[in-house]
Amino acid sequence: MHRHSTPLRGVKAIPRPQPGNPNYTEVNYAYAGVEGSIHEVVEIGGTQLAKVGFKDRKIVYYLLEDLELDRTAKRGTFHDEP
């Protein structure tokens, strides 16, 4: 079972994955240090994963704890507007 959460939608994030983490692939490490934005956060088995989109339109999942977030960013996207 998983839950979707979007309060961080649209927030800029820079992935900082821990080296050698078996949960990550070469794609995760290729986007390490590259600024993207969070599309949504999914919780699976108590672990929060962030779906991060990049300028080249690539989507990569990261552990939420491995993201450096722009805490001053406006939350939400056009999906959240009335």
pLDDT of residue 70: 86
Contacts of 24 (CB under 8 A, 6+ apart): 17, 62
Check residue 9 and give its pLDDT. 87
CA 43 to chain centre: 12
Identity at 35, one-letter amino acid code: E
Its domain, for residue 17, covers 2-68
- Number of separate domains in the chain: 1
pLDDT tens sequence for the chain (82 residues): 555 556 788 899 999 999 999 999 999 999 999 999 999 998 888 899 999 999 999 999 999 999 999 877 655 544 555 5
57 part of a folded domain: yes
Asked if residue 43 lies in contact with residue 14, where contact means CB atoms within 8 angstroms, the answer is no
Does some domain include residue 23? yes
User: Is residue 74 situated within a structural domain?
Assistant: no
Q: Is the pTM of this model over 0.75?
A: yes
| Alpha carbon distances (Å) from 11 to 23, 26, 62, 66 | 23, 24, 14, 14
